[in-house]
Amino acid sequence: MEILLWIIVVALFALSIAGIFLPVLPDTILLWAGFLLYHFFIADPGAGLPASFWWGMVALSVLLYGADLLTNIYFVKKYGGSKWSSIAAVVGIFAGIFLFPPFGMIILPFVFVVLVELLMQKQPMEKAIKAGFGSLIGFLGSAVVKVVLQLTMIIWFFIAA
């Protein structure tokens, strides 16, 4: 039975990594499900994961949730986008997750940023597309950050377990 539970834990971790690129999978929740499954069903009673592990996971989970938003805002601004474009990128991420998964969170931020730069900021097409490109770079950057954070969490788990 314990082997089956370990297989499920590892599968949850693998699905959490896949969730970075398939936003319909709740990556952080899958990680936590693996942690909790181990803590309550595999670990010896009273010997589960230490409090320092749980506090570290809370902090890293907050960073995971913020990775998409913060990297998109950063790269849109870096590529010449306005404050409104940064907001449009964040709105595009959320809209894309629900409207057109899994590709919506890549495409809609780009489209929203370009439209904001063209229509609200009256920027030329070249500058609007450059700012939209920043949202694509932001998505890819956030994916890298999330992979690193999730691998850190998984490695920490195996060290603590």
Q: Report pLDDT digits (tens) over 17-53.
A: 998 877 778 899 999 999 999 999 999 888 889 999 9
- CB of 137 closer than 8 Å to CB of 14: no
What is the reported pLDDT for 71? 84
pTM of the complete model: 0.79
- CB of 1 closer than 8 Å to CB of 38: no
What is the reported pLDDT for 117? 93
The beta strand positions in the chain, using DSSP E, are none
Buried b or exposed e, range 136-151, using 16+ CB within 10 angstroms: bbbbebbbebbeebbe
What is the reported pLDDT for 119? 93
What is the reported pLDDT for 70? 83
What is the reported pLDDT for 17? 94
What is the reported pLDDT for 140? 86
Q: Is 19 exposed, middle or buried (0-12, 13-18, 19+ CB in 10 A)?
A: buried
Three-state secondary structure call for residue 102: coil
What is the reported pLDDT for 138? 86
Distance CA 154, CA 73 (A): 27
What is the reported pLDDT for 111? 94
In angstroms, how far is the first alpha carbon of the chain from the final one?
A: 18
Cα-based distances in Å from 56 to 2, 16, 70, 152, 153: 26, 18, 20, 10, 8
What is the reported pLDDT for 113? 93
Distance of CA 76 to the CA centre of its chain: 17
Residues of the chain with pLDDT under 70: none
Counting the structural domains of the chain, the total is 1
Domain interval for residue 86: 2-160
